[in-house]
Amino acid sequence: MEKLSIPFAAGAALGAFLPSLAGFPRGAPAYAGTCLCLCALAMALISYDPGRKWLYPLLYFLLGMFCYCSYAIIPPRMERTPWLRGAAVRLRELIRSIPYSNPQSPALVCAVLTGDRSGLDREVTEAFRASGASHILALSGLHMGFIYMLVRSTTAFLGYTPAARVARCALGIAFAVMFTIATGASPSAQRACIFIILRELAAVSQVRRSPPAHSLCTALLLQLAFRPDFISNAGFQLSYLAMAGIVFLHPVLKGWFPAPDSIGKGRLDPARRIWETASLSISCQVFTAPAAYLHFGTFPKYFLLTNLISLPLTSVIMVLSSGVTLLWGLGICPAFLIMINEKAIEMLISSLRIISGM
């Protein structure tokens, strides 16, 4: 899969720069002619001798160019507001109705659960950006993964029989798709949705789980095949680069810590847990730093300290926020749970403000 998806992505990237290189605007006849030439060349390669191993990477490279070019000349369709968007609006209204004492608390809950950052103050948003914690506000695989695990936990009562596995698979996929659409279907959310679908299908079919690199490349190929214009999106690039760091570099860095003497010690060893979080942060930053500097012109100096503090707090906030929102909607949320969640939110914001001022 790596030999096909990476050339396809490279071809789509070249297609994104092709109009400026060739000197003609998108939608011009010359642009359409380029698409037709690429299509003819790809079809000629398909009918060529398939025994040559270099043929298929080259073919997918040209197909990536063709997909981007053909997508660019298609007139944009009118977007319709699905009923799930209405559900997302009602969810935001429910969150804002929770009696938090600090107005930034419901705004942050809306950001981490629905991706809506409109209620956050500019000063708070700048603190997240300067400290290197902007990924917490951008709805991504981190957020969907937490919520997905909550969904899996709540459906554990169904059991593990073949029928129960199919039911849990259907519920997991349905949640991932609905949540992605309801929150705006950002490129990073779509990538996380594809990962969940691949995981669920592998689990219900009881096939041997494929290596993470295969899942990453499969998601890359599928996403670019449907939306090749994502290749020039900063969020898309950072999402896949971060995942590449987790897949390829994180296992190496994680292995630098001595293996525990027993399983129990490995679970309770705080130094090992700190190193796992630190190595995860380093792996993501190593791969995303060039693209982040190219797009934004900045690089967070204290990203390691930021992630060591923000990731555990974010996990707590997402669990508490989900519970508070659900219980508040049912009319049975205790006041002390709201207070605990707000204290965790204030702790996160205060920590990032301190780090951003260093």
SS (H, E, C) 206-217: CCCCCCHHHHHH
Which pLDDT belongs to residue 339? Answer: 92
In a domain, 20, yes or no: yes
Least confident of 21-30, 90-99, 208-217: 21-30
Domain interval for residue 48: 2-73
* Spatial distance between the Cα atoms of 240 and 168, rounded to a whole number of angstroms: 27
Q: Which of 81, 71, 89 is nearest to 18 (CA)?
A: 71
Domain assignment of residue 7, yes or no: yes
Domain for residue 114, yes or no? no
Q: List the structure tokens of 309.
A: 């503090």
Residue found under tokens 């519970």: 323
**The amino acid at 126:** E
The verdict on residue 246 lying in a domain is no
How large is the average pLDDT for residues 158-178?
80
Confidence tier at 340 by pLDDT (50, 70, 90): very high
Q: Nearest-CA neighbor of 321 among 350, 349, 342, 348?
A: 342
pLDDT of residue 40: 56
Number of domains present in the structure of the chain: 1
Give the chain's largest Cα–Cα span.
Answer: 71
Structural domain contains residue 23: yes
Within a domain: 85 = no
d(CA 244, CA 221): 14
More confident residue, 113 or 16: 113
Considering only residues 45 and 117, tell me which one the structure prediction assigns the higher pLDDT. 117
* 342 band by pLDDT with thresholds 50, 70 and 90: very high
Q: Is residue 40 domain-resident?
A: yes
Average pLDDT over residues 308-331: 86
Out of 30-34, 132-136, 335-339, pick the least confident.
Answer: 30-34
Is a pLDDT exceeding 80 seen at residue 52? no
One-letter identity of residue 279: S
CA–CA dist 58, 45 (Å, integer): 9
C-alpha span between 246 and 262 (Å, rounded):
25
The predicted model scores a pTM of 0.75
Q: Do the domain assignments include residue 89?
A: no
Q: Where are the alpha helices (DSSP H) in the chain?
A: 2-22, 29-46, 55-73, 83-96, 104-114, 122-131, 134-137, 141-154, 162-182, 187-205, 212-226, 234-244, 250-254, 263-268, 270-296, 303-330, 335-356
Contact of 140 with 348, CB cutoff 8 Å: no
